[in-house]
Structure 1
Amino acid sequence: MTLPDSAAHPRAPALAVTGILSRRSFAIRRSTALLGLTLLGLTTAWSGATTWYILRKDDLAARLINRETSRQYAYEDRIAALRADIDRLASRALLDQDGVEARVGEIAMRQAELESKQALVNAVTETLKASGIGVTQAGKTASGPRLIKPEAATRASSVSSFAPIGPTRPTPAPDMPVLRGAEDRNAGPWQSGEVPEPVSPAQRVAEALEQLDEAIGQTGSSQLGTLRNIDRSLGETQKTLRAALAETGLDTDRLAASTTIAKAVGGPFVPIKIDPAAGPFEATLHSLQPRIAAVSRLRELALQLPLRRPLQGEIDMSSNYGYRVDPFTRGPAMHTGMDLRAETGTPVRATAAGKVVTAEYSGGYGNMVEIEHPGGISTRYAHMSAILVSAGQNVSAGALVGRVGSTGRSTGPHLHYETRIDGDTLDPIRFLRAGDKLAGQL
């Protein structure tokens, strides 16, 4: 029987154990080395990755920083640009507001000028009305459109304008902006299609000022038209007065210069300076003044002349002025007046205002009244049955002075009517014809 090696050699077991341990030790050292190498590789890779990550992160951070810096600069530039736009818009708004205020001031000045002109037009019409001078329908003063007062216009512009309230800050937007088309939503039935763009406040202010300017222009044109109509009407009145007064055969210019001024008037003399070169309104008003004065003098003269009829109704003339056959002597004679046939007791009225200088029985005149009028003109009313005035009495035109009769050298009831100037007799029919032409104007 063969013994094992361990039994054959007393140190064999120890050697075997040592070999086994050596092999295991080698195997352990080999795995340990591999593990270490692996760990070393991993550590190296981790270190490299970490280093790369750190370096990469720094680069990304630098890029992020650069990008954020660029954005910051861009935002700052944008903010600066917006501030510049705001300043520019604020400056433009200020300029627009200044323009609106200047426009409103100009319109206010024009309105004040318009009111001054209207006062002159009213003064002219009141003067004509007080003088009793009639004008045609076209010559009536037309009242202008109601104008916005300057303060109201300024207030409207400050509220509606987009101009800033302060010197550098623009007006903030309203809290509740108006929706597009909301203003016209209730104005009419619903319609399809695009809604029109809303009108800006600045445009509304501009349109309002434009309408106001147009209204002022129309009122100015109306005032000028009124003056021109008055001028034309006065021209026609002057022509009518001259034609009527020419029937009397008197020197109307001399008589008009000597006419008396209406009573109960006066006051300090304050002349009105009108520059005809200032415009058509001033030129028309300047040329209107002498015409008004001329018509007033002619009308005053017509009021003082005996142009009315001494008897009301149709005239029944039985004998005219001039040479005739005397009813008593049957010979040629001068008839110094005109005889108007009428019933006894018919009212006899003064043909013009004046002062009674005679009221008595006077020979062939019978009961006679003589009235003295301005300009050396006098009238006589003879053969009356009754005298109803007394000497020294002032009478108005149309006043009752007596009644028709047949006193004195008379063949029947009638009125002997005379007109005289400076004692010389004139044909009364001339005055009556002039009065007929001016019927309704005196």
Structure 2
Amino acid sequence: MKLSAAGVEKIKPTDKRQEIPDSLCVGLYLIVQPTGKKGWQVRYRHGGVHRRMSLGAFPVLSLAGARERARQTLAAASAGTDPAAEVKAAKAPKLDGDRDKIKTLIGQFDKRHLSKLKSGAVVRRELERHVVSAWGERDVHQIGKRDVIDLLDGIADSGRVVTANRVRAYLAKFFGWCVERDILATSPAAGVKPAGKETSRARVLTDDEIRWFWTACEAEGFPWGPFGKVLLLTGQRLNEVAQMTDSEIRGDLWHLTADRTKNGRAHDVPLTGAVRAALDEVERVTDEEGRVRFIFTTTGRTPVSGFFKARAVLAEAMVGIAQKERGEPVEIPRWTFHDLRRTAATGMARLGIPVRVTEAVLNHVSGTGGGIVAVYQRHDYADEKRQALEAWARFVLSLVEGEADNVVRLQHG
């Protein structure tokens, strides 16, 4: 019904609670209690969930005032915020000014949930990098669906669609945890779609690009120069290399325990002379207690991070090196650190190394290494892995030195 000021006055109570909608302001209801008390309520949806919020009692809040407040509430809900949750947070006692800040809650999320997961350190790093850096000082109740979308769009627009989708998944977990602990009523990430469609990458650096990359690493120095060389020469995963420690190196072998690998399988990586030379370039940094925790670190406390910026620096250096070499503008298609792993795998295939050996080098279980083979084939391919990595290192160095045509290709055994 279309409510009027006079009509609201005349409505009589009954033995049941009455909820009378206002046809002029959809979402606004007049609530009439059996006791005769009257009040205003607005209803809206947030994160796919129906929400209700009291606006005030009649006649303290008039019909005109109720309509104005209802429109403001509905507009805020449309923008992605949860007005009822904000009112609840405002009324809650402020025991700690930082209690509901994003940076505080992500720290608790890490302590109580992420720290128990194998991938927890990666998730925490990405939340710090993309979420805490943007919202760290904000109260979690101020974050709406629109804020989440804007954050993800910004990441995707910088060319990192896959990263945006991963951050979306991490935020969904974080906000879901906040709901479970009654910090939030609903998750502002609910209903947010992926930032874009992910496509399988097939980027492999060309021989020229490998040479330019190596030269860029030489010029860059610590930490990204040696780091990039080790990634290229070993073909191992980004975080496995970033978190490398001296205690994992046993002579000319790098031993990764099961908790250090993505697939939970212990893994040995033979270290070629070229890799050992790259590691020797790294001056060890100690922490406050004089301990060396990681090989690739600038603080002594945590492994290197900021991979996106590091890649950009090396990519820019590659372009400069290429243009100087050719004497003309050169455009190098975008590559990522993970593409170095694919480049190593492809390079070993070019050298005639069997696929099963390459998979053993990469600690990758699929294809020829899956199914019954993974159960009954216990040969660790130690000798074959060493031969493959030695051949790959010789090939890379031959490209750098301009002698690639003289590299002997291995043949399938």
Q: Which of the five TM-score ranges fits, normalised by the shorter chain?
A: under 0.3
> TM-score when scaled to structure 2?
0.25
> TM-score when scaled to structure 1?
0.23
Larger strand percent:
1
